[in-house]
């Protein structure tokens, strides 16, 4: 019995530290709804990108590297959402920052065809911000890449820029889906 009395405080201390170090439980409804929402946005981006491919023969983002540089388009990072470097605050902050960037970039997309996409990006951004508030997560300031609406010197640049933005958005949303899936497992 004396050994148990000596071990009990240590056991309580270890359990307490484990509870404090545990990640905040995720809101299953937020995670599931926004996993579906991110799939919808990725699908919309893919559909619009495929339309750009069909209409303007812009089909490979890799071939547009020079245009990407000229327009100042950057790929948004989600490195804080990977399982080996995961940080709850960092992941949510990077998703929030990326959605803000894409909301701005979506303003340059063809008006009629991208209206739903712009609204969906804004709605997902709102959902993420509300979830951060409900979890008490203070956003970390990940600087956007100075995203401004690109100036298009020609119609070709405008078309290529739209294709690149849609390709990047589709890839970003797939990474958001992986992040939400990771959060579901926590």
Structural domains for the chain: 26-185 (1.20.1250.10)
Distance CA 37, CA 63 (A): 30
Task: Kindly report, residue by residue over 135-170, the tens digit of the pLDDT.
Answer: 999 888 765 555 677 888 999 999 999 999 999 999
State the pLDDT at residue 74: 86
Q: Which two tokens stand for residue 120?
A: 């969906």
Residue 130 has a CB neighbour count (10 Å cut-off) of: 11
CA distances from 36 to 46, 113, 182 (A): 15, 21, 14
Average pLDDT, the chain: 82
The pTM of this model reads 0.81
Contacts of residue 34, Cβ cutoff 8 Å, sequence gap at least 6: 124, 127, 128, 131, 180
Rounded to 10°, the helix 88-105/111-135 angle is: 160
The helix or strand, by DSSP H or E, that contains position 171, with its residue range, turns out to be helix 155-185
Q: Which two tokens stand for residue 138?
A: 């203070």
How does residue 171 score in pLDDT terms, banded at 50, 70 and 90?
very high
Q: What percent of the chain has pLDDT over 70?
A: 81
């Amino acid at each position: 019995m004396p050994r148990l009395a000596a071990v009990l405080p240590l056991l309580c201390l270890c359990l307490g530290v484990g509870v404090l170090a545990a990640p905040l439980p995720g809101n299953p409804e937020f995670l599931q709804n926004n996993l579906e929402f991110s799939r919808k946005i990725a699908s919309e981006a893919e559909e619009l990108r495929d339309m750009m491919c069909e209409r303007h023969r812009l089909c490979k983002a890799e071939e547009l590297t020079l245009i990407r540089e000229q327009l100042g388009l950057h790929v948004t990072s989600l490195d804080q959402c990977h399982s080996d470097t995961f940080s709850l605050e960092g992941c949510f902050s990077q998703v929030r920052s990326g959605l803000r960037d894409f909301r701005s970039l979506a303003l340059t997309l063809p008006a009629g065809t991208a209206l739903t996409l712009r609204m969906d990006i804004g709605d997902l951004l709102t959902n993420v911000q509300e979830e951060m508030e409900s979890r008490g997560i203070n956003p970390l300031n990940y600087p956007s890449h100075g995203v401004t609406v690109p100036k298009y010197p020609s119609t070709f640049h405008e078309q290529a820029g739209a294709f690149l933005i849609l390709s990047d958005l589709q890839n970003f949303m797939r990474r958001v889906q992986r992040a939400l899936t990771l959060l579901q497992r926590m």
